[in-house]
Amino acid sequence: MLKESIQDIYCDQVVSVAPDALMGAAISLMREHSISCVVVTEDKKPIGILTERDVVRCIAEFGTGFMDRPIGELHTKHVFTVNQRSHIIEAFEAIADNQIRHIVVVNDKGEAVGVTTQSDLLEHLGYEYFVRVKTVDQVMNKQVFTISENAVLMEATREMAKRSVSFLIVCEDNTPRGVLTERDVARLAAGKGVAWDCPVKEVMSAPVHTAHRHDSAYDASERMREKGIRRLVVVDDHGKTIGVITQTDMIRGLESQYIDTMKTIIRQQGKELDRVIQRLSEKTLYLDSILSSSIDMGIIATDANLKIVYYNPAAEAILDVPACRALNRKIHDIHESESIDTGRLQQALRIIHEKHFHTFQFTRQRDGKTVHVQGRLSAIKGQHNGDLIGYVLMLQDVTEQHNAEETIRNLAFYDMLTGLPNRALFYERLYAEIARSRRNNSRFCLMIMDIDQFKKINDTYGHHTGDNVLKEVGRRLAMLLRGTDTAARLGGDEFAFILPDVEEQSAMMRLANKILHALDKPVVINDHTLNVRYSLGIGVFPDHGIDAEALYICSDEAMYKAKDLGRENSRSNVVFAD
């Protein structure tokens, strides 16, 4: 049964440390308890959190020299919390919106009483709500980060920190041999005498758990739950790596339980009404029976000649056509008066004679808003001789359902902070643009942009100001580019641009300078005027990569060169890929 409250699912054995505790002791606690985070508290109230990703970041930045430093200097300062009596959906939305894996559960006093994770929510929200007909290749992430078996462990750790990824796939000839995860790095950091210059193959997790691209997404999620892991490497028929499926991908595939339930109710109600109608006579008694069991269902009944003989109040409300204008008139006449193509009705009648019913959807305008309506037209036949008596049209206002589905799509494909396309939609458009450019033998430009010293903005003025800076950048970019261009936020302070049909390097540089010119204007947040700088790397298809991964890596490397240049000249910079 689906649980509703956070207190039904969270782990109440919270492992916490004071801000003056040493990093080495905190990491040892994580290893001892086999957990992915520890909570930093003062007077039992959470002030931060140390996760496996933080450990990877620290090793990449400081080597192992941070182990004797206080955790208060290095932990993630912003900790997301949820009250223990909150609905489970609130935690789900926080994890999805903020792209995090841990939420600290607090009581009414604000004291930390537990932690809930992405894994907890997926298990208790119910894997059965995944669309079971979907296959792994429909929900997997095609962008994978791989490393050789002989790569040095410290090099791999720095690569994980640079890419902000939770794992790297260890491959030889694109065949997965193992994975190196954040948990592996944290475990090694807690150990003694780790040789950080050893090859990855000596410390990686192996064998690697895989899924075939044609496996069902539901089976893949069950396999992750059974193995207690957070990701599967996706392979093709030859065992070659083609993607990865993670719990985050599963969250995107999770449909609202409410929407699924409503769809089921509507289908069941339609079937039940069909059975009732076929059993009752042509007299109007059956209409009252239907009305009493379907108060919000618009019902219109006609005779065999399509003259309306019954029209309930719900139909008036849904169609915004009063009964006095509908009763005793033929449906053809109403269609003509409403400027509706009568050919649609004729097509529906032909379908009904073959299948006995026809379902369809349409929209109407009411008070300046679009109303989405789902309809089902069925034939009414005599109980004894099967002769056609008339037709019944059932109408359901599904605007709320439609809007909920649109919301789900926006959550899946758009960044909630800036309104720009997110990483998932960015890669979908990047794959499409590569395919189009191959067909047309044309070039296009991929730009990767970072905000320089964005962490300093957050630390100095707070995350609220940092969020407003990101919003302003998103607003300016949305106004700047062409309709065929894509500006996306990939996460954090990283943005990307897909600019089709830009052939010459000089034109690409003009576009880059146009972007920087629009962004270089000071950003005013409350009483603060911020002069924000940017680093922009440019890659060109197919010059710098013939597939999405290669093109992204070249553009990203160019961006980091621009960032290095910015440290020297203290201004925004553009660098072309080599």
Active site residue 387: no
Helix axes 118-125, 217-227, angle to 10 degrees: 130
3-state secondary structure 480-536: HCCCCCEEEEEECCEEEEEEECCCCHHHHHHHHHHHHHHHCCCEEECCEEECCCEEE
In 3D space, the residue among 55, 54, 219, 4 whose CA is nearest the CA of residue 133 turns out to be: 219
Q: What is the DSSP string of 123-166?
A: HHH-GGGB-TT-BHHHHSB----EEETTSBHHHHHHHHHHHT-S
Instruction: Extract the tokens encoding 410.
Output: 């926006």
What phi, psi does 303 have (nearest 5°)? -85, -170
> What are the residues whose beta carbons fall under 8 Å from the beta carbon of 247, sequence distance 6 or more?
118, 119, 122, 224, 230, 231
- Catalytic residue of the set 137, 184, 274, 493: 493
Is the torsion defined by CA of 470, 473, 479, 484 positive or negative?
negative
Which helix or strand (DSSP H or E) is residue 463 part of? helix 463-480
d(CA 394, CA 268): 13
Cis peptide before 199 (omega within 30 of 0): no
548-569 and 423-440 helices cross at what angle (nearest 10)? 110
Q: How far apart are CA 481 and CA 78, in angstroms?
A: 33
H or E segment to which residue 470 belongs: helix 463-480
Q: What positions carry a catalytic annotation?
A: 493
